[in-house]
């Protein structure tokens, strides 16, 4: 378990090549991950070319990992392939709806994390890019995604150039509930977040952003209500166009 305990996100990659052989082995091995009804409701678009990465970068707000990493993977929820197979086999595919989207997003997320776990085990460094959710329509446009295929996770991948930064986690008691969900008291919530608030990097973020505390860094700077509402509107509109919502 040690490798899982010490893993870190890697945002800087060396020039060393990631061979097609290794990448394909990782992508194939990750397919052994559990999948809804064994339908494999996911696809992965591999971006390796300089041109492809440059075209994709603005959709990720130009996060430098996109052009710096040797490989960028966009894992998509995909009900297109399965629906087409059903149609070709005279089977009535009813997968253009919300619950099918939920299944395909779960499948794609599990596949993505399996790729990350296997890649990290091989010594590669990875970073998820949450910008894929904000700019899904642009990502879909750049990658030419058809209906019933939506991007879920973007992963940059390469041999690490740096160690990555140390990060903290909540204590286990915050996450685990015995038999039934226990809604913690206000005092307990503050206790559970105390370690996070005292983590040196987080103290730095509060200071740098001129905020009173760490919670305000999240609400006022990193994940604001205004941005969340704006991107929610875009996402819902996009999911309708992609054929998952009526
Ligand atoms: C869904 C998701 C979205 C993320 N988006 C980004 C991102 O856009 N940019 C980035 O640098 N890191 C991103 N990360 C990485 C997280 O910042 C990182 O996992 C977290 O800070 C904990 O650090 P660790 O993975 O090194 O433990 C993302 C991770 C996840 C799971």
Whole-angstrom Cα distance, residue 197 to residue 100?
39
Is residue 143 located within the same domain as residue 53? yes
Residue range(s) defining the domain that contains residue 208: 172-222
- Do 149 and 96 belong together in one domain? yes
Mean pLDDT of the chain: 98
By the 8 A CB rule, do 72 and 66 touch? Answer: yes
Q: Are 70 and 18 in contact (CB under 8 A)?
A: yes
Q: Is the pTM of this model over 0.85?
A: yes
Is the residue at 66 inside a domain?
Answer: yes
Structural domain includes residue 101: yes
63 shares a domain with 26 = yes
For residue 168, the CA-to-ligand 1 centroid distance in Å is 12
pLDDT (tens digit per residue) in 154-205? 999 999 999 999 999 999 999 999 999 999 999 999 999 999 999 999 999 9
Q: Mind listing the pLDDT tens digit for each residue in 35-74?
A: 999 999 999 999 999 999 999 999 999 999 999 999 999 9
The number of the ligand 1 atom at minimal distance from the alpha carbon of 11 is 11
Asked which of 120, 140, 164 is the last residue of a domain, the reply is: 164
Within a domain: residue 240? no
Give the mean pLDDT of 98-104. Answer: 98
* Smallest CA separation from ligand 1 atom 27, residue: 8
CB neighbourhood size of 97 (10 A)? 13
Distance CA 48, CA 70 (A): 6
For tokens 């997968």, the residue is 95
Residues 147 and 117 in one domain: yes
List pocket residues of ligand 1, CB cut-off 6 Å: 8-9, 11, 63, 127-131, 164, 167
- Give me the DSSP letters along 2-66: HHHHH------B-S----HHHHHHHHHHHTTS--GGG---EEEEEE-SHHHHHHHGGGGTT-THH
Residue 90 is predicted with a pLDDT of: 98
118 close to 26: Cβ distance less than 8 angstroms: yes
Residue 234 falls within a domain, yes or no? no
In terms of domains, do 71 and 143 share one?
yes
Structure tokens at 185: 């008291």
- Of 4, 73, 127, the one to substitute when testing ligand 1's pocket (max ligand atoms within 8 A of C-beta) is 127
**Is 239 among the domain residues?**
no
Q: Is residue 237 part of a domain?
A: no
Strands 125-128 and 149-158: antiparallel
What CATH number corresponds to the domain at position 135? 3.40.109.10
Atom 2, ligand 1: residue with shortest CA distance: 130
């Amino acid at each position: 378990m040690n490798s899982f305990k010490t893993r870190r996100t890697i945002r800087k990659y060396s020039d060393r090549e990631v061979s097609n052989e290794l990448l394909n082995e990782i992508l194939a091995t990750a397919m052994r991950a559990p999948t809804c009804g064994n339908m494999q409701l996911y696809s992965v678009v591999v971006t390796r070319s300089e041109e492809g990465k440059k075209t994709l970068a603005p959709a990720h707000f130009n996060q430098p990992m996109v052009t710096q990493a040797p490989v960028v993977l966009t894992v998509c929820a995909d009900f297109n392939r399965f629906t087409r197979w059903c149609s070709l086999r005279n089977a009535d595919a009813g997968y253009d709806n919300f619950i099918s989207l939920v299944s395909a997003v779960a499948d794609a997320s599990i596949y993505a994390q399996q790729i990350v776990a296997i890649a990290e085990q091989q010594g590669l460094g990875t970073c998820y890019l949450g910008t894929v959710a904000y700019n899904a329509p642009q990502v879909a446009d750049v990658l030419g995604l058809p209906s019933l295929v939506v991007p879920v996770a973007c992963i940059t991948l390469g041999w690490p150039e740096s160690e990555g930064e140390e990060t903290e986690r909540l204590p286990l008691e915050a996450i685990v509930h015995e038999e039934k969900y226990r809604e913690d008291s206000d005092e307990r919530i503050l206790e559970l977040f105390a370690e996070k608030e005292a983590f040196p990097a987080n103290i730095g973020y509060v200071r740098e952003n001129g905020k009173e505390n760490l919670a305000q860094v999240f609400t006022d700077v990193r994940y604001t209500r205004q941005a969340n509402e704006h991107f929610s509107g875009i996402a819902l509109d996009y999911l309708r166009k992609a054929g998952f919502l009526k």
